[in-house]
């Protein structure tokens, strides 16, 4: 009997660690803000400052809220945006590649956040 109770507790504890976090209007708005900043990026004269700022803000908000389900997606996008931001001389082709990645990542994050219930 003890083994059944112990295994049930362990099972429920493991399941609760993978449950998605609840829908949050603020987090959705921040995800859309990230998508808007990525869409505004002009690779003829790139300035990734606003993209980095909006990704960092979404990351801090989700981290503070403890949204672990989208945290991994945001951390991958943060690496992409940081790579664009840290480079001092950004070529147009490099920018276009990074912008394509950022568009896909921001769409995936927004989709993950907004499909919650």
| 57 CB-near residues (< 8 Å, 6+ apart) | 30, 33
Which position has the token pair 């869409």? Answer: 39
How sure is the predictor about 56, in pLDDT bands with cuts at 50, 70 and 90? very high
pLDDT given at position 11: 57
Closest to 62 in 3D by CA, of 94, 39, 93, 33: 33
User: Which has the higher per-residue pLDDT, 6 or 51?
Assistant: 51
Average pLDDT rounded to a whole number, residues 49-68 = 92
More confident of the two residues 59 and 24: 59
Please state the pTM of the whole predicted model. Answer: 0.76
pLDDT at position 1 is 62
User: Can you give the pLDDT at residue 79?
Assistant: 92
Across the range 33-49, mean pLDDT stands at 94
| Helices within the chain (DSSP H only) | 2-17, 25-40, 49-65, 68-86, 92-114
Band of residue 58 on the pLDDT scale cut at 50, 70, 90: very high
Instruction: Give percent helix, percent strand, percent coil of the chain, each to the nearest 5.
Output: 80, 0, 20
Question: What is d(CA 20, CA 14) in angstroms, rounded to the nearest whole number?
Answer: 13
Residue 15 has pLDDT above 60, yes or no: no
């Amino acid at each position: 009997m003890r083994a059944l109770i112990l295994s049930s507790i362990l099972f429920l504890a493991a399941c609760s660690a993978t449950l998605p976090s609840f829908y949050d209007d603020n987090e959705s708005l921040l995800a859309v803000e990230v998508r808007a900043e990525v869409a505004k990026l002009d690779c003829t004269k790139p300035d990734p400052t606003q993209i980095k700022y909006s990704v960092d803000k979404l990351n801090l908000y989700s981290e503070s809220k403890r949204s672990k389900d989208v945290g991994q997606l945001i951390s991958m996008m943060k690496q992409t945006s940081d790579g664009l931001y840290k480079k001092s001389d950004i070529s147009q082709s490099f920018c276009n590649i990074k912008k394509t990645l950022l568009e896909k990542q921001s769409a995936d994050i927004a989709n993950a956040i907004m499909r919650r219930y």
